């Protein structure tokens, strides 16, 4: 568990460096207590997500929005983690570069920070925990992702979409694994994830094909593939290759895959029959096509969250104009290419209070902002988001996801 906390602490650092407040909040418990060493004068205290937002604003004011953490080491202290880092900023008065050695102490519960304390005297973090630095093993920052200029550049490109796609992929991995366990012949197979984004099915396909198999992930967005590459390297997954490829003009060899998978690609693009024809071309006869898309009907909060649910309705209208609720037409699409009796399944996940995936309507509202602004004024959208934010921060509110519909089957021989 604590190794996972170190990984989460790393990711929080990375999210902080992109200055994407929503991405940072995904790692914060709604009841978080945050003590800052840099927004003073003197120690300053913040509570809950709204407090964390205020902290980010005050940091941006104090450091001209140019603050960045360069991690030097992490320490695993069970439910706590400590980071040693150099804080890079720009003095508000002087405009000069400022570098300060500092530490953060985080207490984690269910994958989120419940207590956060910043220190300018690093050793005080250990003193407050009552442990000696000599008793702990130092974990080095990961060279490929932590604070390198490449990573900052790519995350700066599209941070909220990237965070959303990786979180989303993790949430649905168990449903994907369950499906793959029903398809024989994984070991040694060649599998393709089309439009894999920042993670998609890459990790679970790599498990399914095993060390003697090969996974290919394609996307048209190079920055998402870069993020997926960092993820795979961090996980030590070496049997997956990532390629830029437009599914509607694919350069991959025909009939070269045993399994082709695509998730949430029909819904935003709305070109189901063409897409499925492209997948069919890449599969060997008898190879399996797996499609996953959503049906938005089950996407609710309990107790109801009127603002977040209004956002969902607006987003549903936007998707209806794109690819609709593509999940419901999957069997038909599969039958049209000769998969006469496709298997189908459906999954809904209950999200406990504070689960970061509850924030999906807010994250979509960033990705689809221009389309929302065709339906709402700037002010209406801002107040809808504020209200939805407040609803989601209320203790006890849980939710159900949209329904993931899975359809799959083998091509005729
Ligand atoms: C909603 S995301 C889903 C990502 C991933 N499949 C998942 O489930 O997490 C849609 C993905 O399709 C990719 N995409 C869009 N048009 C594409 C095209 N013509 N060829 C390949 N990928 C495309 C996008 O860049 C994006 O990563």
pLDDT at 208 over 70: yes
Q: What is the pLDDT of residues 302-326, one digit of tens each?
A: 999 999 999 999 999 988 887 777 9
The percentage of residues in the chain with a pLDDT greater than 70, rounded to a whole number, is 91
Q: What is the pLDDT of residues 120-152, one digit of tens each?
A: 888 899 999 888 887 777 777 654 333 322 322
Average pLDDT over residues 250-259: 97
Domain with CATH 3.10.450.50 in the chain: 2-157
| 366 Cα–ligand 1 center, Å | 17
For residues 404 and 42, which has the higher predicted lDDT (pLDDT)? 404
pTM summary value: 0.66
The CATH number of 2-157 is which of 3.40.50.300, 3.30.1960.10, 3.40.50.1100, 3.10.450.50?
3.10.450.50
Q: Which of 34-38, 63-67, 371-375 has the lowest mean pLDDT?
A: 63-67
| Amino acid 141: pLDDT | 66
Q: Crossing angle for the helix pair 159-180 and 149-157, nearest 10 degrees? A: 90
| Cβ–ligand 1 contact at 293 (below 6 Å) | no
Q: Specify which residues 215 forms β-bridges with.
A: 191, 240
pLDDT above 80 (res 96): no
Residue 175's nearest CA partner among 207, 213, 204 is 204
Q: From atom 12 of ligand 1, which residue's Cα is the shortest distance away?
A: 195
Cβ partners under 8 Å of residue 72, min gap 6: 84, 85, 86, 141
CA–centroid distance, 162 to ligand 1, in Å, is: 11
Point out which residues pair with 286 in neighbouring strands. none
Query: Is the Cβ–Cβ distance between 361 and 308 less than 8 Å?
Result: yes
pLDDT at 37: 87
pLDDT reported for residue 15? 81
Nearest C-alpha neighbor of 393 from the set 75, 112, 76:
112
Q: Which of 160, 197, 229, 251 to mutate to test the pocket of ligand 1 (most atoms within 8 A of CB)?
A: 197
Q: How high does pLDDT run on average in the chain?
A: 87
- What is the pLDDT confidence band of residue 93, given thresholds at 50, 70 and 90? low
Task: Say which residue, 135 or 201, is predicted with more confidence.
Answer: 201
pLDDT level of residue 412 (50, 70, 90 thresholds): very high
Cα 223 to middle of ligand 1, angstroms:
12
Higher pLDDT, 81 or 101: 81
* Ranges in the chain annotated CATH 3.40.50.150: 160-410
Residue 299, pLDDT score? 96
Task: Please tell me if the CB atom of residue 261 comes closer than 6 angstroms to any atom of ligand 1.
Answer: no
Question: Per residue in 161-185, pLDDT tens?
Answer: 667 788 889 899 999 999 999 999 9
Residue found under tokens 């809904």 = 348
CATH class of 160-410: alpha beta
pLDDT in tens, 116-127: 999 988 889 999
Ligand 1 centre to CA of 383 (Å) is 30
Does position 396 have pLDDT exceeding 90, yes or no?
yes
Alpha helix (H) ranges present in 181-291? 202-209, 222-235, 266-269, 272-282
* Residue nearest (by alpha carbon) to ligand 1 atom 26: 197
Q: Highest mean pLDDT range out of 66-75, 177-186, 224-233, 311-320?
A: 177-186
């Amino acid at each position: 568990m604590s190794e996972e906390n170190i990984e989460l602490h790393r990711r929080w650092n990375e999210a902080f460096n992109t200055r994407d407040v929503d991405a940072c909040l995904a790692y914060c418990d709604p009841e978080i207590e945050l003590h800052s060493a840099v927004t003073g004068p003197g120690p300053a205290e913040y509570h809950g997500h709204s407090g964390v937002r205020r902290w980010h604003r005050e940091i941006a004011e104090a450091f001209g929005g140019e603050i960045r953490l360069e991690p030097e080491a992490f320490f695993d202290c069970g439910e706590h983690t400590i980071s040693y880092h150099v804080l890079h900023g720009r003095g508000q008065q002087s405009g000069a570069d400022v570098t300060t050695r500092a530490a953060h102490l985080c207490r984690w519960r269910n994958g989120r920070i419940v207590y956060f304390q910043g220190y300018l005297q690093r050793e005080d973090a250990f003193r407050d925990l009552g442990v000696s630095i000599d008793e702990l093993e130092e974990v080095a920052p990961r060279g490929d992702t932590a604070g390198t200029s490449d990573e900052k550049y790519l995350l700066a490109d599209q941070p909220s979409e990237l965070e959303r796609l990786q979180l989303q992929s993790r949430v649905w991995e168990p449903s994907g694994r369950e499906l793959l366990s029903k398809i024989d012949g994984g070991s040694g197979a060649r599998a393709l994830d089309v439009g894999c984004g920042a993670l998609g099915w890459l990790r679970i396909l790599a498990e399914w094909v095993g060390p003697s198999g090969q996974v290919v992930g394609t996307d048209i967005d190079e920055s998402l593939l870069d993020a997926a590459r960092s993820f795979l390297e961090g996980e030590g997954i070496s049997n997956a290759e990532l390629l830029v490829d437009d599914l509607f003009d694919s350069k991959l060899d025909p009939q070269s895959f045993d399994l082709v998978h695509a998730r949430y690609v029909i819904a935003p693009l709305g070109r189901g029959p063409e897409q499925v024809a492209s997948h069919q071309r890449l599969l060997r006869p008898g190879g399996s096509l797996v499609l996953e898309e959503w049906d938005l009907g089950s996407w609710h909060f309990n107790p109801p969250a009127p603002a977040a649910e209004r956002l969902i309705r607006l987003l549903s209208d936007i998707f209806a104009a794109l690819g609709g609720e593509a999940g419901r037409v999957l069997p038909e699409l599969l039958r049209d290419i000769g998969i006469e009796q496709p298997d189908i399944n459906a999954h809904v996940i209950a999200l406990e209070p504070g689960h970061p995936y509850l924030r999906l309507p807010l994250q979509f509202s960033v990705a689809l902002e221009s389309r929302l602004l065709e339906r709402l004024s700037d002010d209406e959208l801002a107040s809808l988001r504020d209200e939805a934010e407040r609803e989601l921060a209320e203790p006890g509110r849980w939710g159900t996801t949209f329904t993931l519909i899975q359809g799959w089957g083998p091509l005729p021989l």
